[in-house]
Amino acid sequence: MAKGIEVSINEKSFVFDALKQGIRLDGRKLEDFRNVDITLGDEYGYVDVRLGKTRVVARISAEISTPFEDRPFEGLFTVSTEISPMASAMFENQRQSDDELLISRAIEKAVRRSGALDLESLCIIAGSKCWSIRADVHFLDYDGGFIDASCIAVMTGLQHFRKNDITVSGEQIVIHSVEEREPVELSVLHVPICVTFAFFNPEGVEENIKGESNNEIYIVDTTLEEDLLKDGVLTVAVNKNREVCQISKAGGLPMDALTLMDCGRKAYDIAVELTNQIKKLLEADYKRRNEGIQYKLRAENDRITVE
């Protein structure tokens, strides 16, 4: 039983010919990122990201738990990325394929290991109580770019999320409800953005030391169709301070050092653009939440002056 996506020779040569002429099937330029459509939910920490047909939902939640014994001053942060066949029939239930593993690892590396979330700020009582933040990423539809989309979703979610305010008196913790006290935001230190590049080798000649037949083409943010035909892939996570958080290139076509530099620079431009988009969106959301009758009726207004 053939279970998978079969790509014909015709499609392959057509895509390669088009790329050589600088045309992509969806009409984008080679270095264009798809339009990112981010929607914030009514609840804090719910983010819906659409990248073309790809759709990813991230949900941030927090609970109080005990820190690891070897790290008593740090809170916990877990990212759960389980891809179900809902996204595409190419993902199987209960079984993680290599692709899935790569996606999970890339998100883990870009978001968690780059220290985007300040774990020390999650500590409540050293060694016994801390916040445990959990990011659940749900993959709803797949048309390439899962790493990029889920990175955007998790980072936007972390910035949007508010955890309940707490008061500590000795060993006692009081958790205040949202109605009682304004919830507090997480301390996000920087916003890494993943940009995935795919490499194509239309000549079919591989060279470790780049020479004559160095005609590889690289494109940004592949769709599923391009994804199936790629010869190599590179993911760069970079933030707007020009800090590269991860570079991952698992096998595939060998590439030139200059190309790598070039990709880094392109990734930076895209990251800046996306960071600004996220920032604007969060500001708009903040404004929306803090205007109107609810805002005016708040008790705080008695103490501060509002013009």
Note the residues at the interface with other proteins (CB under 8 A).
1-14, 17-18, 21, 23, 25, 27, 89-90
Smallest gap from residue 217 Cβ to other proteins (A): 15
Q: Helix 257-289 and helix 146-160: axis angle, to 10°? A: 40
Minimum CB separation of residue 55 from other proteins in Å reads 18
If the CB atoms of residues 19 and 245 are measured against other proteins, the closer one turns out to be 19
Phi and psi at residue 98, to the nearest 5°:
-60, -40
In angstroms, what is the minimal distance from the CB of 273 to other proteins?
23
Select 22 or 127, whichever has its Cβ closest to other proteins.
Answer: 22
Q: Cβ 50 to other proteins, closest distance in Å?
A: 18
Nearer to other proteins, 90 or 217 (CB): 90
Q: Hey, what amino acid is at 167? A: T
Residue closer to other proteins by CB (options 12, 210) is 12
Give whichever of 95 and 296 is closer to other proteins, judged by the CB atom: 95
To other proteins, the closest distance from the beta carbon of 250 in angstroms equals 25
297, amino acid identity? L
Sequential DSSP letters for the chain: ---S----HHHHHHHHHHHHTT--TTS--TTPPPPEEEEE-SSTTEEEEEETTEEEEEEEEEEEEPPPTT-TT--EEEEEE---TTT-TTSPTT---HHHHHHHHHHIIIIIITT-B-SGGGEEETTTEEEEEEEEEEEEE-SS-HHHHHHHHHHHHHHH-EEPPEEEETTEEEEPPTTTSPPEEP-B----EEEEEEEE-TT----SS--TT---EEEES--HHHHHH-SEEEEEEE-TTS-EEEEE--SSS---HHHHHHHHHHHHHHHHHHHHHHHHHHHHHHHHHTSSHHHHTSGGGGTS---
Q: Shortest Cβ distance from residue 28 to other proteins (Å)? A: 11
State the nearest-atom distance from the C-beta of 90 to other proteins, in Å: 7
Minimum distance, C-beta of residue 201 to other proteins, in the bound complex (Å): 17
Name which of 92 and 243 has its Cβ closer to other proteins. Answer: 92
Amino acid symbol at 29: K
3 versus 287: smaller Cβ distance to other proteins: 3
Q: Taking the chain, what is the end-to-end CA distance rounded to the nearest angstrom? A: 70
Q: Measure the CA–CA gap between 39 and 277, rounded to whole angstroms.
A: 12
Nearer to other proteins, 17 or 256 (CB): 17
